[in-house]
Structure 1
Amino acid sequence: MSYQVDQLLDRGVALKRSGNLEGARDCYIEALNADPTNMNVYLSLGKTAHLLRQQNLAIKCYLAFCHLMLSPIEKGIRQNNLPLHLKIQYEQLPLDALASLPKKSAFAIFMDTNTPRHLAHSLFDLSDQTLNSHPHLKPYSKIYDAHILGDGSHSRILQSFGLTASDQLATDEDIYIPAGQNFLLEEIQWSKIESTDVIDIYLKS
C-alpha cells in the first residue's frame, strides 16, 4: 500500500507542476482512499486545493495533517515515552506556558512553522475580503502560489514584484505563521486528538 501511495504522490506532484491541478487533486484523493492516515497526502492535497482556490478543503487538509502530527505526541506524553528530541523540548517549556495550552501536545505546533504557514496562506490569500483589507499581502499571495506550484516560476514572480526571498520569509514569520498557529490552537479537535480518524473529524464535517 505504501508503494501505491508513493506512486500516487509522485504522479500528483508531476501533474501539479504541469498545471493539471484537478488531476493532481484526484491522485491525492485516491491516495487517501488507500491510506487515510498518511500525513504527506493531506499536505499535498492541501497545497493543490489552495491552488484550485478551494479554501475549505485546503484548511481541512492542514488541520488533518497537524492532528496526525500531534496525535502520537499526545499519546507519548501520556505514556511518558516521547522521542528524545521531543522530550527535551517539552521539558524545557515553562509550566505556565504548558498550562495555557489546550493539550500538552500543542507545544509541537510552535516547532512546525510550515503547516501554520500553509494554513494561514489559505486563510488570507483565498479571501478577497482579507486581501482587499490588507493589499500589501497581495504580492505575497502570488509569490506563495508560485512557490507551492513548483514549476520554476518562483524567482521570476518575486522579481516581478521587486521582492526577495528574505522579504517573503519575513512576511511569513511576522504575519502568516503566527496567524496559522493561533488558528490551529483554536480549531484542532483537541477532545479527539488521540484518534487518527481525521477524515471523519475534519473532512466529513
Structure 2
Amino acid sequence: MKNEVEQFIAEGVKLKRAGNLIGALNCYLQAVDLDPTNSNVFITVGKTAHLLKEQDLAVKSYLAAVHLMLAPIEKVIDNPEQSPDFLRMAYGEFSEEQLKQLPRKSAFAIFMDDNTPRHVAHAMIDLSPEYFENRSDLMPITEIYRASILGDGSYGDVLNQYGYTSDDHMTIEKEIYLPAGQKFLMTNLKWDRIDSPNVVDMYF
C-alpha cells in the first residue's frame, strides 16, 4: 500500500508541475483513500485545493493534517520515557498557566509549528473575497503566497512585481497569518476526539 500511495503522490507532483491541478488533486485524494492517516498527504491536498480555490476542502484538509500530527503527541505527552527529547523540551517551554488554558495538552504543538497554521489561515482569508473590503493591503500577499505553494519558480518574480522581499513576506506571515491560523485551529479541531485518527469521519 505504501508504494501505491507514493506512486499517486509522485504522479500528482508531476501533474501539478505540468499545470494540471485538477489531475494532481485527484491523485492526492486517491492517496488519502489508501492512507487516511497520513498528515503530509492532507497538507498536499490542502495546498492544491487552495490553488483551485476550493476553500472548504483546503480548510478541512489542514484540520485533518493537524489532528493527525497531534494525536500521537497526546498519547505520549504524559509518559516521559515514550516522548522524544525535542518534544519534552518544547513542552517544557510552556508555563503551567499557559498549559492550563489549552483544550488538551498536545495543543502546545500548534504553537511550535510555523507552517500549517499559516496555510489554514491563507485558505480562510485569501479565499474569502469579502475579507479584502477592509484589508486590500493584503491582496499582494495572496498572490505571493499562491506563487510560493505553486512551486513553479514564479515566487521571486511575484515578489519583485509587488516590491516585496522574502523577509517582508515572512514578516506579514508571522504577524497576521500565523496567529490567525493558530486561533482557528484552537477553535475548530475536534479536541474531544484528538486521540482518534479517524479524521475523514470527523472533518469531511
Residue 155 of structure 1 pairs with residue 156 of structure 2: yes
Structure 1 contact 18–151 (Cα < 8 Å) conserved: no
| Residues 65-114 of structure 1, C-alpha deviations (whole Å, 9 max, x = no match) | 00000000001114442211101111231100000000010000011110
- Could you tell me which residue of structure 1 aligns to residue 104 of structure 2? 103
Q: Which residue of 2 aligns with 1:40?
A: 40
| TM-fit CA distance, 1:167 | 0.8
Alpha-carbon deviation of 1:12? 1.0
Q: What is the one-letter code of the residue matched to 1:64?
A: A
Shift, 1:13, TM fit: 1.5
Q: State the distance in 1 between where 2:62 and 2:176 align.
A: 18
1:116 aligned onto 2:137: no
C-alpha distance in structure 2 between counterparts of 1:151 and 1:157, whole Å: 11
Q: Flag structure 1 segments of 5+ consecutive residues without an equivalent.
A: none
Q: Identity over aligned residues, as a percent?
A: 49
TM (norm. structure 1) is 0.96
**Aligned equivalent of 2:176:** 175
In structure 1, the partner of 2:76 is 76
Contact persistence 1:116–1:176 (CA under 8 A): yes
Contact 1:58 1:119 (C-alpha < 8 Å) held by counterparts: yes
CA deviations 1:142-174 (Å, max 9, x no partner) are 011111010111111111111111111000000
- Number of matched residues? 203
What code does the residue aligned with 1:27 have? C
Partner of 1:187: 188
In the superposition, the TM-score normalised over structure 2's length comes to 0.97
- Matches of 2:196 and 2:62, distance apart in 1: 16
Indicate whether 1:87 and 2:105 are aligned.
no
Aligned equivalent of 2:136: 135
Q: Is the aligned partner of 1:9 residue 2:20?
A: no
How well do the aligned residues superpose, as a CA RMSD in angstroms? 0.9
